[in-house]
Amino acid sequence: MDCARIGLLSTTQHSPMTPQLTTRLPAVGTTVFTRMSQLAAQAGAVNLGQGFPDFGCERSLISAVNDAMLADFNQYPMMSGAPVLRQAIGTKIGALYGHAYNVDSEITVTAGATQALTTAILCCVHPGDEVIVIEPVYDSYVPAITLAGGVPVAVEMEVTATGYAVPWSKVAAAVNRKTRLIIINTPHNPTSTVLRAADLQALSDIVRGTEMLILSDEVYEHMVYEGHRHESVSRYPALAERAFVVSSFGKTYHVTGWKIGYVAAPAALMAEFRKVHQYNVFSVNTPMQHGIASYMADPTPYLDLPAFYQRKRDLFRDGLKKSRFELLPADGTYFQCVRYDKISTQTEAAFAEWLTTEIKVAAIPVSAFYQQGKESGIVRFCFAKQDNTLALALERLATV
């Protein structure tokens, strides 16, 4: 028998060539986060690039998950999430934002926020639909839109001496009969911008009387500083009735590797979300859901998070004032953007690589968050690190 003809492996013949694929994501390669983290490891640099803490979570959270495993919460949970966790999520949203989601039909636990975002896009965007994204834009949005057959329409934030702002008049101008979805992110990664009540009102004005939907990425909801409040879409009934609202336990509880998040949406939208969810992940780690639900009985950890991270932000900003970097505002998230005009004329990618290999501190070029790689002379640092990690990074950055 001719093994090669029927595509079987043979010990005497080379295997046939792997069939070629037409890529679904022609513009996608290895992410900048992976590349910079690899470069940081090779160079022995302090990694302030990728956004994750280098410190542990509360031991009581781990104990709660361990207790759940010992209590035999180890089989498949409900597709929509463990009822006890959905109830805890609903209680939190109601207490903070005054919106009562039905925990049975309007809240779903997801395998991280990225899965929630991708599933929301896949369930509502059809081929030819346009989706407005605000640039600089988190890197998972556009590939998900592309996979759905949608068309991303970018509106650039304005960059001024006082930081970034969403130009709502330009968002309104980008809307047409093909617009299906507007994606917002507050607090915003990478710029650390926090939308205010006036921003949400402007968004309300744009979508009023239309069939447009909103996808609101709020994974940094508990990292808003200077006493400002997080303006969740859930606070605004006219927005909440047409929105998927996404958040992340990984960001809130310093457990990014657990990949657990959730989405809240009106029942009609959630029904479509769950149709996709049940086939791309079905359900999420059971003992972690029960452990997190138990841990959420005390709201102190997330209520104290703004003060926890504002102290780290201020420590980092105070140290950077001794360098030649120009600080941009950091009103939320655990990121700090800086201009480097007084240091170099290199492109952002080249400067970030130089900073990593020569100064031994890794950063992320903000140009990576634009589809066309716009250059603004700005890089992003992550300050979700131990104080001694930040101190070492600041010592090195002061030499630039």
pLDDT band of 32, cuts 50, 70, 90: confident
Across 225-248, average pLDDT: 98
Q: pTM for this one?
A: 0.94
pLDDT band of 142, cuts 50, 70, 90: very high
Are 370 and 334 spatial neighbours (Cβ–Cβ below 8 Å)? no
d(CA 38, CA 30): 11
pLDDT digits (tens, 9 = 90+) for 335-373: 999 999 999 999 999 999 999 999 999 999 999 999 999
CATH architecture assignment, domain 59-297: 3-Layer(aba) Sandwich (3.40)
103 residue type, one letter: V
Across 272-279, average pLDDT: 98
Examine the pLDDT at 5 and tell me if it is beyond 90.
no
Q: Where are the domains of the chain?
A: 32-51+303-397, 59-297
Q: What is the reported pLDDT for 15? A: 57
pLDDT digits (tens, 9 = 90+) for 165-206: 999 999 999 999 999 999 999 999 999 999 999 999 999 999
pLDDT digits (tens, 9 = 90+) for 220-236: 999 999 999 999 999 99
CATH number, domain 32-51+303-397:
3.90.1150.10
d(CA 365, CA 348): 5
Long-range contacts of 317-321 (CB under 8 A, 24+ apart): 319/390, 319/391, 319/394, 319/397, 319/398, 320/394, 320/397
pLDDT band of 4, cuts 50, 70, 90: very low
SS3 content of the chain, % helix, strand, coil (to 5): 40, 15, 45
Other Cβ atoms within 10 Å of 367 Cβ, number: 21
Q: Three-state DSSP class for 46?
A: strand
d(CA 277, CA 17): 35
DSSP secondary structure letter of residue 118: H
